[in-house]
Structure 1
Amino acid sequence: MDLQLSIAADVASEITRWLDYLGAERRMSPKTLEAYRRDVGQFLAFMAEHLGGRPNLTQLAKLTPADVRAFMAARRGDGAGNRTLMRSLAGVRSFARFLERNGKGKVGALAAVRTPKLPKTLPKPLAASSAKQMTDIDVRAGEERETWVLARDAAVLALLYGSGLRISEALGLKRKDADGRDALTVLGKGNKTRMVPVLPQVTKAIADYVALCPYDLPPDGPLFLGARGGPLSPRIVQLAMARLRGALGLPDSATPHALRHSFATHLLARGGDLRAIQELLGHASLSTTQIYTAVDAEHLLDVYASAHPRA
């Protein structure tokens, strides 16, 4: 069924207001807004078929937990896993909360249905020696690639490990940001800025790349460029990491994001304060950062099991 045909006029009007609110007030990205719009559209399309007509605001408030479970069962039948289903319900619940806050009715059935659980998976950091090798261009010396490209990749990966940046944050840097200072202002999730330290080795890696880059790097332009002079794509960084995995014999879990995990885990292992690490990573909640305490404890147990004489 066409999504537009499955949405009643009063509901469609509220969806527009909700998405405008998320974009303007919550500063969500266009991709996130599109995902939320799609999730709510799928929910309403199912309900239109399930109930035999387009549900309006009054009918949404009358939905039962059985109706929501029927939607979940249908999504599972289409091959949706727990993670996809959880994200889908999150979008629908966000819309329902918006309706309730604005006096448009409460969709109580959504709160009454339990969200699918995800297995807890801990991040897999790299060993410190492997993380350091990621920024050594000599590791990829045998590749038929221009030196400036290898220097560029090394500089990006140095930022991920040395400063704990996300790929999007590193690739969002402007040329003027890399002025040799020992700290950077980074634009993170939710358009929130934070200060991150830059080690001398990372500063040198960036300077080496800038010196070798064959393209002009205007102050307000992107710091990292692709082979044709446009902004560097995250996919290119992922491919560079894949080549390094092959060269160093590392597992598939050694991704660019694993360098960020390694940054946090190695700081914690050396006595770093959890709250300080939270600030460096740009986590809104300390509970997000606390996964690294479990990672570090797991590492200590592995060391104990492998080294203790009675293990």
Structure 2
Amino acid sequence: MAEHQYTDFSESTGFAYCDEAFGSHTLTDNISEKNRMKLRAIRMLISYQRDGDFEFRTPSVERIFHGEIGKTTELYLSYVRNILRLSDETIRNKEQYLYEFHTFLNGHALLLEDLNVDIVENFFASMGYSLASRHNSGSTLRIFLRYAFDNGLTNKDCSIFVLADNYKKHCKLPTTYEESEISNMIASVERSSAIGKRDYLILLLAAEYGWRTKDIVGFRFTQIDWDNNVIRFNQSKTDIPVEFPLLSTIGNAIIDYLKHGRPKTDAEEIIVAADTVKKGQPLSPPTVHSIVSKYMSKANIKNWKAKKHGAHSLRHSLATNMLKKNVSMPVISTVMGHQSTETTKIYLAVDVKKLRQCSLPMPELHSSYFSWEA
């Protein structure tokens, strides 16, 4: 700034410095660890000046929508954000898929009006999506293109060019951990500090109740019935009402955190941030993921980095470990808050011992086309 005679810092100044010093103001693969930390520092300064808060992590992609397609996309994202009021996570996912589609079309000098089945399929082929990502991208594009047509932004309904796929929601086995691994993770928490008391409560809610991240960060005082030792609320994902007994471990962890760990705040949520900038504010879902990852590392859980390692993996582990203890499917389904036991049946595939009990003996075969040696 001194070299350029700048007296006031701004976002454009910070980005210009990063572009000149590091080659980019977003996180790239070839940036050194030293420059990575410098980039992080500049971006934290920018975000604090702009929002009064620090961005959660340095982004690797800066999504800027250009041209007519970009304008249409921005209108749609504004609609889902301000009218539909979808969650930040859902909007981020939509933005990612729409940005990739927008980049593909602009790169081939195409407009939405030019779309046909071949162009859409070429887009999917160019991305190399997994089955799940292909399914999610297709769903996002279909809704977006339908919105564009319904609002007069395109002359034809291009959503018909996004073909259906054969993806099955539960085609993958859920990531699970053994009870001993989860116990070691919870035991690794240093509970003498305020942050430790908070993290301990978060891990218990995920491991002993199987709560989703949004239910953990949205946990409120009004949901606890202390007189009857019950916790009641409607799940954030399904809006299904659930009821949990207030376990002594959970109740004691809540009391300990409220007395000795929770900052003074008017927030209705029980669990709040402890750092200086966000102190007393409700946690964001990514923070919970980072907390779970932190203690998996601290507990030296084998291969945790190569597996799913957020709060949802503890939810999966609870269901699987209950199944191993012969808890019935309806009970597990109730604890998980599933709308149907069909959803819960995915955990049957993880219990190898019970699957072996279902195996049938191989009948003897008498055929010239088959030999045991082969």
TM, length-normalised to structure 1: 0.70
Amino acid at match of 2:79: D
Task: Give how far 1:132 is off.
Answer: 3.7
Residue 172 of structure 1 aligns with which residue? 218
State the match for 1:259 in structure 2: 314
Equivalence for 1:69: 121
Counterpart-to-counterpart distance in 2, 1:124 and 1:133: 17
Aligned residue among 273, 279, 293 for 1:225: 273
**Structure with more relative contact order (C-alpha pairs < 8 Å, separation 6 or more):** 1
Structure 2 regions of 5+ residues with no counterpart?
A: 1-62, 359-374
What residue is the counterpart of 1:195 in the other structure? 242
Superposition CA RMSD, Å: 4.0
Contact 2:193–2:261, Cα closer than 8 Å, also in 1: no
Distance 1:39 1:250, change over 3 A: closer
Partner of 2:296: 242
Other-structure match for 1:291: 346
Deviations along 1:75-98, whole A, 9 cap, x unmatched?
23xxx5555444322211223455
- Residues 210 and 135 of structure 1: is their aligned pair in 2 closer, same or farther, counting only changes over 3 Å? farther
Question: Corresponding residue for 2:136?
Answer: 87
Residue in 1 that maps onto 2:93? 35
Q: Does 1:161 align with 2:207?
A: yes
- Whose helix fraction is larger, Structure 1's or Structure 2's? 1
Partner of 2:94: helix, strand, or coil? Answer: helix
Query: Given the superposition, is the C-alpha separation of residues 96 and 278 from structure 1 closer, same or farther in structure 2, using an over 3 Å criterion?
Result: farther
Q: 1:121 to 1:54 in 2, by over 3 A?
A: closer
Aligned ranges for residues 181-192 of structure 1 at < 5 Å? 181-189=229-237, 192=239
Gap regions ≥5 residues in structure 1: 305-311
Quick one: structure 1 residues 199 and 146, their matched pair in 2 at CA, closer, same or farther if it must change by over 3 Å?
closer
Matches within 5 A, 1:1-150: 3-7=65-69, 12=72, 16=75, 20=79, 24=83, 28-50=86-108, 52-56=109-113, 59-60=114-115, 63=116, 65-76=117-128, 83-96=132-145, 98=147, 105=157, 107-111=159-163, 114=165, 120-136=171-187, 139-140=188-189, 146-150=192-196
Q: Identical aligned pairs, as a percentage? A: 22
Which structure has the larger Rg?
Answer: 2
State the secondary structure of the residue aligned to 1:111: coil
TM-score by length of 2: 0.60
The 2-side partners of 1:39 and 1:254 are apart by 22
Residue type of the partner of 1:203? G
Please name the residue that 2:5 is paired with: none
CA gap 1:115/1:101 in 2 versus in 1, 3 angstroms? farther
Match of 1:280 in 2: 335
Q: Deviations over 1:2-42 (max 9, x none)?
A: 74314298xx29x74686368745x5313323432442354
Distance apart, 1:210 and its partner CA: 2.1
Does the aligned pair in 2 maintain the 1:173–1:186 contact within 8 Å? no
Whether contact under 8 Å (2:219, 2:270) holds in the other structure is yes
